[in-house]
Amino acid sequence: VPNLQGPRYVSPAPNGGFVVSEECGDVKVFMSSRKLLCSLSSKYGHQFGNPAGVCVDVDGSILVADEQRRTVHLFPEHGAPICLVSAGLRRPAGVACSSFGHLFVADAGENCVKVFKYRVRPP
């Protein structure tokens, strides 16, 4: 996949595609054919500081850690972005989520992994 602006983190998506964060820029979603489906900043009108870790949950929502803004946002397939974590992170880097609604954030600023519950509906 050419023409990315400093690709950083990548995650598979349930539809066979994938999600890529770009340094100091954007997060792009690709189809299984490697064609660009959308950019999250364009689709949602969201401005990232420095997007880092990305993952996709069981509902198909994309989660993005923003190192500069010290947040983690959830981008649902339909609807507005939701800020899941807005405090307590020094430098969120990697993110992962479980099918049980847990969000794991590697906080490089505190040398630890923080665990959050963000979904109350059972899988």
Q: Contact at 8 Å (CB) between 58 and 123?
A: yes
CATH topology of domain 7-117: Neuraminidase (2.120.10)
Mean pLDDT, the chain, integer: 93
Asked if residue 84 has pLDDT above 80, the reply is yes
Q: Counting Cβ atoms within 10 Å, is residue 55 exposed (0-12), middle (13-18) or buried (19+)?
A: buried
Whole-model pTM over 0.85: yes
Maximal C-alpha separation, the chain: 39
